[in-house]
Amino acid sequence: MSFIAIDLDGTLLNNENEISEENIKAIKLAQENGVEVVISTGRAYFDVQKICGKSGILPFVIGTNGATIHSKDGECISSIAIPKIHVESIVKWLDVHDFYYEVFTEKNIFSLKEKRESFQNEINRLKRADLDEDTKELVSIAERQFDQFGYILVENSNDILQQNDEVFNILACSFDKNRLAEARKQFSNCNELMVVSSADHNIEITSRFASKGLALEKLVYLFNGSLDQSMAIGDSNNDISMFEKVGYSVAMGNAKDDIKALCSMSTLNNDENGVAYAINQYIDTFVVKK
C-alpha cells in the first residue's frame, strides 16, 4: 500500500484558502486506485476536518505538525503533547518578548486578544506600505492564517495555562527576522522540543517526538504500507521531515529554491493545481489503475 501526504497551506489550498475542483478530483482518483491520501499540516485536526468536509474528501489527517494523527473516520490514532512544564516556559518567554502566538489543543486555538489585535494592526500597516512582491505575499499568508476555525481569544496567558487540555503546537509570529531568529534559537536549545517553520514570519514548536515525517512513518507502518512507494507534496520547512521519509518528494512551484533542491521533482504552484498535477503524474507512472 502506498500513501500520498499533502501539506495544506501553500500546497493543497490555493490563495483563496480553498481546495480546487481539480485537486479534489485528483485526490479522489488516487483513493479509487488504492492509494491512501493523508493531509499533513500544521493546522489542528478540527480545522482540517472542516476544510475536507466542505470539499467532500475523506483522508487520514496528520495535524499540528505531526503531533496528532486521525483516521479517515475521525479516530485519534496518535497524539504527542508538549510537556506542560515546557508549555508554561514557552508561553511566558513569548509574553516577555512581546510575540503574537497561538496555542493549539485538541479542540481550540488559544491566542491573546490584545496581541492578536496588535498583530492585525501590523498586517494592516504593512498592506498600506510600498512592499516588494515577496513581502506582500508573506503579509497575505499571515493574514490568511486568521481564517482558521476554532480560535478562542483570551485576556492573558494564565487563561491559557490554566486550561487542562493538552497542547500540541505553539506558533509564534513576527515580521522581524532578527526577533524570529532569537526565538528559534531560544527553543531549539531545548532537546525536548522540535522547532520548524511554515512561512518566513513564524516558528512552530512541538514535542521533539512530533514531526510530519515521524507521524507519516508511524501511519504507514500501522497500515503495512511502503514509504519507498509513497509520495509527499509540500512547500515549506515543516515539510522537510516527510520529504526525507518517502520515495517520491515533490516541491510546489511556489516553494523556495532550497526546498526544491531537497525534492525528487517540482510541480506547478498552489494556484495552478500543482497537487493535481503531481498526483496525476504519480498515478500514471506508479499505479496500476483499477
Q: Give percent above pLDDT 70 in the chain.
A: 99
Query: Is the pLDDT assigned to residue 194 strictly greater than 60?
Result: yes
pLDDT digits (tens, 9 = 90+) for 143-155: 999 989 899 999 9
Q: Which of 7, 9, 47, 239 is catalytic?
A: 7
- pLDDT for 109 equals 97
List, for residues 207-221, the tens digit of each pLDDT value.
999 999 999 999 999
**290 pLDDT above the threshold of 60:** no
Given a cut of 80, whether residue 59 has pLDDT beyond it is yes
Let me know if 7 is a catalytic residue: yes
What CATH number should be reported for the domain whose range is 3-80+210-286? 3.40.50.1000
pLDDT at 288 (0 to 100): 63
Please state the rounded mean pLDDT for residues 239-250: 98
Q: What percent of the chain has pLDDT over 90?
A: 92
SS (H, E, C) 86-104: HHHHHHHHHHHCCCEEEEE
pLDDT at 171 exceeding the cut of 80? yes
Does residue 286 have a pLDDT over 90? no
pLDDT surpassing 70 at residue 86? yes
Q: Identical fold at 3-80+210-286 and 84-207? A: no
Q: What is the mean pLDDT of the chain?
A: 95
Return the domain boundaries, the chain. Answer: 3-80+210-286, 84-207
CATH architecture assigned to 84-207: 2-Layer Sandwich (3.30)
